[in-house]
Amino acid sequence: MVSKLRIIIFILSFSLSAGLIALDDEAGHLGSLGAEIAVGGKTFSVPIENLASLQPSSQASPFPPIGKSEFLAHFSAAWLSAHVDGYQPVLNHGFESHMASISVGEQVAKDHARLHPVSVDLWYKRGAYANRVVMDKKEPNTGFYIIQPIPYSSEPDHDREQWFLSETLPDESKSYPENPHWRPYICRRTNGIIIENAKVLTKCNINGKSADDIFFYTYLSSENLRVRETVLSTIAEEIRSWIIDEESNNDS
Amino acid sequence: MEIQLRNRIFFKISCGFLLLFYSLCTFALSPPGVSGNQATGDYTVSYNATVSYPTIFIWLQEKVGSGPWTTVSDPVPLGTVDFSNKANGVYQYRVAELADSYSYPYFPTFSWSTAVTVIVDGSSGGAGSSSSSMDYSTQSTYSYEVRKGDVNADGLQDLYVKRSSGGSSNNGVLYETLLQQQSDSTFTVMQPDAAQQMIGASWPMISVDVESADFNLDGFTDIIINGLENHIAGVAKQLIFSSGSGLLPQASVVSSLGPYMHKTMTNIAGSFSNPNYFDPYMAQVPLPVPVWVCGISYNYYFEGFSPGCWIQIQIVIVTVYDANFVTQEGISFAHGWGNLGEVTSDAEFRNNAEYVYDVVATILGINVGEDRPDFNNQGAVEEALAKIWVILSSLCGEAEVSECLSQGVQTVGEEMSRSMAGFQSCTDKLVLGQSPLPFTGSPFRTPKVTHSSSQNFAITSSQLGYSAGSSDVARRNFWLSRFNDSKDPLAPLGVNVVDNAYLLGCLANERVLFVALDYGKTISLTSIGVGIMAAHADAVQTDFEGIPGKLTATKIALYHFEVFALAGLPPHTFGGAPFSGTTTEAEKTKFIWCPSCE
């Protein structure tokens, strides 16, 4: 009933409005330098080059995608190359850039403070990961232990397996490390079947934090895992620089 | 007193019966089948007439041209009706059903199947020829000639449009029409006499681009004339609707795709991509409003206080919008659609849907769909909304709204035609039926997935195994398990996409193929689907927020964007955000594709 009333008021008010107001040409949230995004109680001034425009083929969206508590930002490979020593741009379809999903707010902070059920189950070798297999030698290129959530299958159809990477081995006989939480990276092979002749790539989900209530995740190819900490801190700092709310800036 | 009370109770029950008689349709009825020589009017319509509880009665209905639905007399054996020597025209048949209700107060429900169309045109065509000649892809090959002249000597150029090839003249698709230009550069459909038609046919032909697509999704292609501005100053492209009646070869309606349509579609696309879209165009304005006020006032004449009522001017603050940028229908649609995602009951949903339907009908100047849906019937309402969604996302591109234009190789008209053809192809699949699935609900909307408060949405080991696969079998197993074992809200749609089933499953695939073609990409639906499956499995495992593993529409949209980008496809490939390819749009449309998402 309320919603109908609202509609009626809008229609009534609209009919009174013709020509009453003169405004500038474009919607004010998108300026020439970027967009202001209000999300999770904070306002971010996102530069135009970081507005989500999935490279290489998407159309540029005139407005950034906005969720209730999250938004999407784009970091080009060129930008990361300039800011992160050792970063290797992987020139393959869809991998020229990084999309970061950014979550903001008090509730988000509470949610992230909880134990991550997947990590806990993986540590204790239970649930979906009851048959996990741990490679007890570190992978030399990245310095990670590899944890297979399910035993490897030689079936021909079974070629897009997922695995976890961790700097420390899980041990179900010990308590789950909570300070900090033990959180392995989740990786999966993209074996080039989406695009013919595309390179076989590995992408890993990595998580970062810009402030107590600003979290983000993005994907890195396996080639760049060794510079992940610099990538995360660089992106975190960049996101922090977008906050235009004074109080929030002071807090952080 | 007692009689009055009884009458009141009876009245209430009667009203309740009337309201609930046409209540929620929960049984999918199979449409009738047609065999024989449809073109010559000698054919047989058969349908499943088996009555088993809760069905009370089943019967066949016929509609001639644009007339009303009438009951067809069906002598024993029930379920087969022979027709012979039917007059030329367009006939439609559907199966109607009266069924008992499971819920108090147990009033029966009335529902009907989708309709099948039979064209009788007197040709020798042979069995089924009419049906194939009315195939959507065949209709799309019809070509038209356009001529201009002044039929009523008012100084304004009018248009004469005639089909120059394809199909019979009385098959319901636009054949010949005269459009009279108005002083505001729009057109109206004339009912010309023979002499006026002859005059129109003698005018000089003009070189314009004519695209066809079924804009009101009634099964009969409509046309858009592009490039009129090169021949008649100030005239925008025109959208001309077929009548759908063999008895009416003229157009039924003509709509101008001019500034109003552009502005309205810009508003709609903008409201999908930005929740604050209208804010810059909005202002609060004080408005003096006279109101009656009653109370006690001092009466100077009688020198005392006395009761009375008088008019008082009160200032009311109203919200107004800049009409240079906002149309009434644009803002009405945005608010109506927004409310659809906030309703708490099916009845409220249907009320809001009717409002949205009327707004869209106003935008197009027509009734969307074959008939005005029964807005007490949840299934019919959801079908209408699905149609509206497709029509508007296509029309947005046709109105040349920048947000809705892709950067692909196809022209705007080609994009729109393919999009519409995809919808038509998918609705055809509904008629053909499909294998039963473990979930029930409207074929036009993803069903809600209920779960207990202790439901665990985490990935299971079986699902991990399936997600490592790269076949359709693995995909189907994954989504089925996500539904059965994890009550994943997206799972029903996941299964439907693998099966290419129901409207949304089919549309998702059509959309990927259509955008891939537009962008010159060679893709396979299986490969894309495997990518989506793996991304969903990853997203479930890396979900920290809300109920872990129960994804939001935003998160689902995000990984779709990423997978599509990997294949070189733009974000609006995702069927949950066809307008703008944004997560905001995905949130606003989730009531259709993922109503139980977080």
Range among A98-107, B52-61, B77-86 rated most confident: A98-107
The answer to whether residue B229 is domain-embedded is: yes
CA distances from A81 to A58, A101, A224, A234 (A): 22, 20, 11, 11
pLDDT of residue A208: 92
**Inter-chain contact B558–A99, Cβ cutoff 8 Å?**
yes
Strands (E), B420-540: none
Read off the pLDDT of each residue in B548-566 and give the average, rounded to a whole number: 87
Least confident of A14-18, A110-114, B334-338, B354-358: A14-18
Question: Of A10 and B345, which is predicted with more confidence?
Answer: B345
Flag whether pLDDT at A62 surpasses 50.
Answer: no
Give CA separation, B578 vs A58, B333, B334, B491, in Å. 13, 16, 16, 20
Could you tell me if residue B398 is inside a domain? no
Query: Are residues B353 and B250 part of one domain?
Result: no
Query: Do B245 and B266 fall into the same domain?
Result: no
B-chain residues near A19 (CB < 8 A): 323-324
pLDDT band at B20 (very low <50, low <70, confident <90, very high): very low
Helices B259-273, B378-398: inter-axial angle, 10-degree rounding: 110
Average pLDDT, chain A: 74
Is the bond into B192 cis (omega within 30 degrees of 0)? no
The predicted complex's ipTM stands at: 0.77
Q: Above 90 in pLDDT, residue A3?
A: no
**Any domain includes B302:** yes
Query: A59-73, B299-313, B434-448, B456-470 — which is least confidently predicted?
Result: A59-73
- Do B174 and B289 share a domain, yes or no? no
**B228-238 confidence digits (pLDDT tens):** 999 999 898 89
In eight-state DSSP terms, residue B458 is S
Residue B5 lies in a domain: no
More confident residue, A231 or B172: A231
Token pair, residue A89, equals 């741009």
Of A6, A61, A160, the CB nearest to B530: A160
**pLDDT value, residue B21:** 31
Alpha helices in chain A (DSSP H): 2-15, 77-83, 106-113, 117-124, 228-241, 246-251
Q: CA–CA separation, B529 vs A10, rounded Å?
A: 42
Report d(CA B228, CA B242) in Å as an integer.
19
Please check the confidence at residue B18 and state whether its pLDDT lies above 60.
Answer: no
The pLDDT score that the predictor gives to residue A54 is 38
C-alpha distance from A250 to closest chain B C-alpha (Å): 26
Please give the pLDDT value at position B444: 73
* Whether B474 contacts chain A with CB within 8 A: yes
Task: Give residue A22's pLDDT band: very low, low, confident or very high (50, 70, 90).
Answer: very low
Tell me how far apart the alpha carbons of residues A82 and A67 are, in angstroms, rounded to a whole number: 30
Q: Are residues B581 and B445 in the same domain?
A: yes
Domain that residue B449 falls in: 406-593
The reply to whether omega before B105 is within 30° of 0 (cis) is: yes
From the number of C-beta atoms within 10 Å of its C-beta (0-12, 13-18, 19+), residue A32 rates as: exposed
Asked whether residue B243 falls in the same domain as residue B265, the answer is no
Strand segments (E) across B193-274 = 209-213, 222-226, 238-242, 251-256
Report pLDDT for A190: 67
Dist. CA A30–CA A51, nearest whole Å: 10
Residues B173 and B300 in one domain: no
Same domain, B481 and B563: yes
**pLDDT at position B32, please?**
86
Distance (Å, whole) CA A151 – CA A162: 10
Residues of B in contact with A26 (CB under 8 A): 280
Q: B32: closest CA among B93, B84, B118, B96? A: B93
At a CB cut-off of 8 Å and minimum separation 6, what does A31 contact? none
pLDDT for the residue numbered A16: 35
- Structural domain ending residue among the three candidates B123, B146, B166: B123
Residue A7 is predicted with a pLDDT of 46
Report residue A208 as tokens: 């970062």
Average pLDDT over residues B9-38: 50
> Same domain for B280 and B209?
no
Q: Are residues B247 and B282 in the same domain?
A: no
Residue B106's pLDDT band (cuts 50, 70, 90): low
pLDDT band of residue A29 (cuts 50, 70, 90) is: very low
pLDDT tens digits, residue range A38-58?
888 888 888 877 876 433 333
**Per-residue pLDDT at B495 exceeds 80:** yes
Q: Is residue B106 within 8 Å of B24, Cβ to Cβ?
A: no
**With bands split at pLDDT 50, 70 and 90, how would you rate the model's confidence at A21?**
very low
pLDDT band of A59, cuts 50, 70, 90: very low
- Tell me the mean pLDDT in the region B275-300: 80
Please, what is the Cα angle at B404 between B400 and B407, to 5 degrees? 90
In this prediction, residue B497 carries a pLDDT of: 92
The pLDDT assigned to B477 comes to 94
For the stretch B572-595, pLDDT in tens is 888 888 877 777 788 888 888 898
Structural domain ending residue among the three candidates B198, B222, B257: B257
What is the pLDDT averaged over residues B358-373? 76
Which of A4, A57, A150 is closest, CB to CB, to B570?
A57
Question: What is the rounded distance in angstroms from the CA atom of residue A181 to the CA atom of residue A176?
Answer: 8
Does residue B8 carry a pLDDT above 60?
Answer: no
Q: Is the pLDDT of residue B31 over 90?
A: no
Does an H or E element contain B496, and which? helix B491-499
Taking the CA of residue A228 and the nearest CA in chain B, the distance in Å comes to 17
Count of the separate structural domains present in chain B: 4
Q: Left (φ > 0), alpha (ψ -120 to 50) or beta: where does B500 sit?
A: left
Is the pLDDT higher at B520 or at B418?
B520
pTM over 0.80: no
Taking contacts as CB-CB distances below 8 angstroms, the residues of chain A near B410 are none
**B145 and B116, same structural domain?**
no
Mean of pLDDT values over B144-153: 94
* Three-class secondary structure of residue B242 per DSSP: strand
B509 in a structural domain: yes
Predicted confidence band at B148 (pLDDT cuts at 50, 70, 90)?
very high
Q: Are residues B464 and B341 in the same domain?
A: no
Task: Determine if the peptide bond prior to B77 is cis (ω within 30°).
Answer: yes
Residues from chain B that touch A16, judged by Cβ atoms under 8 A, are 285, 287, 318, 320
Task: Say which amino acid occupies B192.
Answer: P
Judge whether B358 lies within some domain.
yes
Q: Are residues B116 and B188 in the same domain?
A: no
Decide if B386 is inside a domain.
no
- Give the mean pLDDT of B545-564: 88
Average pLDDT of chain B to the nearest whole number: 79
Q: From the candidates A9, A10, A37, A205, which should be mutated to test the interface with B, based on the most B CB atoms within 10 A?
A: A10
Residue A67 has pLDDT above 70, yes or no: no
What is the model's pLDDT at position A13? 41
B391 within domain boundaries = no
Nearest CB neighbour to B571, from listed A58, A128, A130: A58
- Neighbouring C-beta atoms of residue B215, cutoff 10 Å: 24
Asked if B439 and B432 touch (Cβ cutoff 8 Å), the reply is: no
Nearest CA of chain B to the CA of A82: how many Å? 23
Contacts of B273 in chain A (CB under 8 A): 61-63, 65
**Confidence (pLDDT) at B456:** 92
Give B82's DSSP letter.
E
pLDDT value at residue A55:
37
DSSP state of B152: T
Give the mean model confidence (pLDDT) for residues B478-487.
Answer: 95
| B521 vs B518: CA distance, rounded Å | 8
pLDDT-derived band at A61, boundaries 50, 70, 90? very low
Closest CA to B23 of B115, B95, B114, B98: B98
Question: Can you say how many angstroms the Cα of residue A187 is from the centroid of all Cα atoms in its chain?
Answer: 14
